Amino acid sequence: MDGCLFCKIINGEISSEKVYEDGEMVALRDIAPQAPVHLLIIPKRHISGADGLRESDAALAGAILLTAKRLAEENSLENGWRVVTNVGEDGGQTVGHLHFHLLGGAKLGGFGGCVEGRG
Ligand code: 5GP
Ligand code: ZN
């Protein structure tokens, strides 16, 4: 999709540090890591976010989660890890192309679901 940052990364217009690629997704290092391991798993097809998923995307969504699991193993995250997808403005989504954060490599803080202003 024109003007989409992740579409540009996927088609190579913008460089990135890819750690995995197959026919339907890529995984790359987040430019501003929030944990020692912070990867983004991104479907190649432009989908606005988890709110843009359709029933027909069930296999894709499952494949992304299994990729997260495999990348966690490959990155030695045997102590634990987290997958997050932010949706929309209230969810803190800043790039409007579906992506899942894979975070690990240190003990992560409590669930980041606090309401702004309530700590
Ligand atoms: P969101 O806030 O939408 O959940 O996540 C977007 C993520 O994309 C952020 O963690 C941000 O650091 C990352 N990001 C933004 N621009 C770039 C970029 O040009 N390259 C890479 N690798 N990550 C980016
Ligand atoms: Zn896109």
Domain 5-104 fold is: HIT family, subunit A (3.30.428)
Q: Is the CB of 94 under 6 A from ligand 1?
A: yes
d(CA 12, CA 21): 13
User: The whole model's pTM is what?
Assistant: 0.96
Residue 113: the pLDDT is: 63
Q: Is the CB of 98 under 6 A from ligand 1?
A: no
Closest C-alpha among 83, 79, 86, 95 to residue 16: 95
* Active-site annotation holds for 99: yes
Atom of ligand 1 nearest to the CA of 28: 22
Question: In the chain, where are the structural domains located?
Answer: 5-104
Annotated catalytic residue within 38, 97, 99, 101: 99
Atom of ligand 1 nearest to the CA of 92: 2
Q: Which two tokens stand for residue 70?
A: 């495999």
Tell me the per-residue pLDDT of 19-59, one tens digit each, with 9 for 90 and over: 999 999 999 999 999 999 999 999 999 999 999 999 999 99
Q: Taking residues 84-101, report their average pLDDT.
A: 98
